[in-house]
Chains A and B, each alone.
Chain A
Amino acid sequence: DARVTQTPRDKVTEMGQEVTMRCQPILGHNTVFWYRQTMMQGLELLAYFRNRAPLDDSGMPKDRFSAEMPDATLATLKIQPSEPRDSAVYFCASGLTTGSYNEQFFGPGTRLTVL
């Protein structure tokens, strides 16, 4: 049963520290998405990659957030420096997108708390 995996599952850090979240998409999927979930804003798309190329990162605060996909089996989301308002659950999703077909499979999320 193929699944998206994310590490760490929980992260508590202090303001100003760097945070790196990792995602392993389902093997064979060509598209990876990063979402952030908060009580106030709900689920927001931060960025997504297709065939490892960044397609859209307009939802991401560029001054402190960066997303990369160094190879087909790893996507990373980095926050530097972190702030308390970054506290949220960060979900990675992957999918095999082709033409108009788009179905996304979500990972378990990383719960980030910035003190």
Chain B
Amino acid sequence: AQSVSQHNHHVILSEAASLELGCNYSYGGTVNLFWYVQYPGQHLQLLLKYFSGDPLVKGIKGFEAEFIKSKFSFNLRKPSVQWSDTAEYFCAVSPGAGSYQLTFGKGTKLSVIP
């Protein structure tokens, strides 16, 4: 079974700082990769996804992620965070074919200080 590790439980940054959240997965086959964001008290919203093609994926709100197959990683980045980015971020993986279930990481809580 696949698993997802998010290295940081809680990250605290000042506004305008750069962000990188780590995500590693364990699964030997083709994968689909996702980053979801959950604002306080709200449901999960898709930030970006990778199915195939260019390993550098751009999402909404200025976020991007890079799929590095050799490292089984899909790290999330943003060059300059804003206070409104305060939320919890979840990395998720799904097998590329045959199963549609998502396995989520434990999440990383991001707090941005004005």
Contacts and interface: CB of A to CB of B under 8 A. Distances in A.
Given A31-B100, A95-B100, A108-B43, A102 B107 contact: no
Interface in B86-111: 90, 94, 96-97, 99-107
Interface of B: 30, 32, 34, 36, 42-46, 49, 51, 90, 94, 96-97, 99-107
A104 interface: yes
B30 to A, nearest CB: 7
Given A95-B100, A102-B32, A42 B105 contact: yes
Chain B at the A interface: mostly helix, strand, loop or mixed? loop
B107 A101 contact: no
A45 B43 contact: no
Given A42-B104, A101-B51, 10 more contacts: A43-B104, A44-B104, A45-B101, A45-B102, A48-B101, A91-B43, A100-B30, A100-B96, A100-B97, A106-B43
